Structure 1
Amino acid sequence: MIPVLLPPNPVQHFYRGGDRIAALRGIVPETDHQPEEWLGATVSRFGDPRTGLAITADGEILRDLVAADPAGWTGPVRGRDAGDVGILVKLLDARQRLPVHVHPGRGFAVEHLDCPYGKTEAWYVLDTEPDSAVHVGWNTDLDRDELDRRRDAQDSEWMLAHMNRVVVREGMGILVPAGTAHAIDGGIFVAEVQEPTDFSILLEWSVTTSTREESHLDLGFDTVMPAVSSDRLAPEQLAALISEVGTAPAGTRFRSLLPAAADPYFRLWDAATLGTRTSVRPAGFAVVLISEGAGEFVGGDGRLPVSQGQVLAVPHSFGDWTVEGDAAVLVAEPGAGWPTTLATAELR
């Protein structure tokens, strides 16, 4: 089985953006509110069974292809169901600040959402405007009653003032553990890798098109707020969530772009052929973005010409693979040990 080429899959959203996705993927945006593209997605938007699902050039839903041949796509391992590939990948191009929000952890999802996955995620910065920042975790311990009051008052200024502000640059990787409050400034373009869900708790809905009643996963704030950490994220803890590996030029050997703490959840690699070939990636499901140049994708099942802006869903049955030519690639894979790691989730 050869990799499947995935046509652009832009997603309409409340916030502005998407021009850098369109430029990379070679399309003309339909509106200025298509700031996300879901790459190789076999899960959809929360409460919407279709939006976000990856579709092939032949009009087939990738999830259905995986479910029809799980051994071919994910090998001897199985996730929560036959269509599960253990990861969700997005391009996110924000031209306005995203709201302060939180994603629940696996234990909460098992208990309340009938799902083994939470939504730990990570960002890899592809491009950014000067002085644009991400906001990750609280910079002081918060009183939970105070947090509830500020949430209900939609006190954006208070929330942002109590968060760690991190100015980003191209090539930075930032891990956002489940339970951690976070937001992204306008001007930042990232590749986002995450657990395969769309679970979000909005602490700040007033800057979105959502209402208070659409901000708590249909569970009520009394139920979801225990999934939100109110603890300080100390400087040394924040530093451990940031990788600078990608700020240096890529070589032919695949390198990990995220902190080691991301490995149980997902992995993100890059490499460049430099006119020869990359090192070998082992067989397994992967979502691959050709970020620059052109070349050939080479595996045990054949060769496939590739060029900048293309996205591939790579099946396990393609075998070990490499890239030849003059290209750079970004590779997202399920976490190390997936899916056995799902059984080790801790309750939050």
Structure 2
Amino acid sequence: MYDEPLFLKPVLQERIWGGTALRDEFGYEIPSETTGECWGISAHPNGPSSIINGPLQGMTLDEVFNNYRDLFNGDTSDAFPLLTKILDAKRDLSVQVHPNDDYAREKEQQPYGKTECWYILNSEPDAEIVFGHHAQSSAEFREKVDAGEWDQLLRRVKVKPGDFFYVPSGTIHAIGAGIQILETQQSSDITYRVYDYDRRGGDGELRELHIEPSIEVTSYPHKDPLNHYVARQDTTYVKTRLAKETYFSVYHWDVRGQLTHEREEPYLLASVISGEGNIRTKDQENPLKKGDHFIVPATIDQLTIEGDCELVVSHPEGV
């Protein structure tokens, strides 16, 4: 029986809006001063992370998922369903929207659309996100886009560390400058840009926009999802469920001593967002530090985390 978490080597992605926080705050080796994304737990072909411990060391997560389904509770998904990222927005991201599964399969020949969620790790004072829009219909949305009335169209929300946002497909959104987030999402890389502040890419040309598919997939009118946090507190930890949705459930674990978890989920994805400690399973003990990403496979029934640390933990639903 495989009794060790699968620790992963992340993939670092350069972005026009990125900075150096992934190095400065998390200790990753970044490829440039404009590094925007750490794909910490990824089996996506655009950046699969690889196993760095145990007998499967050196294999990519997609290879492990395809060849060792017993580690994933026999998950029959065509592809590993989730993707965990840390994003550093030194500058504003483009205003964008993602399609649902049906649209992604029909129009993009991809298995998944993109529903995601954000846990705010750090933010500068008065930092804000775009979350939703003020149009009541697609016709009104198109009218304001054509007129360039972005301030009237886009809904802006100030954020602070510890905030959480569920961002279903069809939601107009953008992470603002001065924010770092941990993102849990469907394993998809389909993005439709609505507005990009007339920025030019590395080739000197204006970056491509995707107005027509954006209008097609956007939800009208915007409605904020309801958050129903569920917290379980003990003397040495607080476990908070942040979301239980169609594709994933997401939790925040705040460990101040010891947390023992009896796994009932198919398998767990975990990212250490602050502090340090260690994780013990039946026959193994591994150190933990900020910036670590790992999977607790279905072959581990119980785990114990000791130390002073915070984690964002998730698992897929419906598998």
Any idea what the Cα deviations from partners look like across 1:95-129, whole Å, max 9, x if unmatched?
11111111001221232223342101111101100
Amino acid at match of 1:324: E
TM-score (norm 1): 0.78
TM-score (norm 2): 0.85
Of Structure 1 and Structure 2, the greater helix share is in 1
Structure 1 unaligned segments of length 5 or more: list them: 46-51, 339-348
Q: 2:112 aligns with which of 112, 117, 142?
A: 117
Of Structure 1 and Structure 2, the greater strand share is in 2
Structure 2 unaligned segments of length 5 or more: list them: none
Q: How does 1:156-305 map to 2 (within 5 A)?
A: 158-205=149-196, 206-207=198-199, 209=201, 214-216=208-210, 222=212, 225-229=215-219, 231-233=220-222, 237-238=223-224, 240-241=225-226, 252-258=237-243, 260=244, 263-300=245-282, 302-305=284-287
Distance 1:228 1:212, change over 3 A: farther
Give the alignment's Cα RMSD to 1 decimal: 2.9
- Structure 1 residue 208, shift from structure 2 partner: 5.4
Question: Using the alignment, how far apart are the partners of 1:250 and 1:186 within structure 2?
Answer: 37
Question: Using the alignment, how far apart are the partners of 2:92 and 2:48 within structure 1?
Answer: 25
Question: Using the alignment, how far apart are the partners of 1:297 and 1:282 within structure 2?
Answer: 18
Amino acid at match of 1:114: Q
Amino acid at match of 1:62: L
Distance 1:142 1:6, change over 3 A: same
Amino acid at match of 1:133: E
Preserved CA contact (<8 Å) 1:105 1:120: yes
| Secondary structure of the corresponding residue to residue 14 of structure 1 | strand
Q: 2:311 maps to what in 1?
A: 329
- Structure 1 residue 88, shift from structure 2 partner: 0.9
Distance 1:279 1:287, change over 3 A: closer
Amino acid at match of 2:294: L
Question: Using the alignment, how far apart are the partners of 1:190 and 1:250 within structure 2?
Answer: 28
Amino acid at match of 2:269: V
| Secondary structure of the corresponding residue to residue 221 of structure 2 | coil
| Secondary structure of the corresponding residue to residue 43 of structure 1 | coil
| Secondary structure of the corresponding residue to residue 112 of structure 2 | coil
Question: Using the alignment, how far apart are the partners of 1:131 and 1:213 within structure 2?
Answer: 27
- Structure 1 residue 255, shift from structure 2 partner: 1.4
Question: Using the alignment, how far apart are the partners of 2:235 and 2:186 within structure 1?
Answer: 26
Q: 2:21 maps to what in 1?
A: 20
Q: Which moved more, 1:171-180 or 1:59-68?
A: 59-68
- Structure 1 residue 86, shift from structure 2 partner: 1.6
Preserved CA contact (<8 Å) 2:237 2:257: no
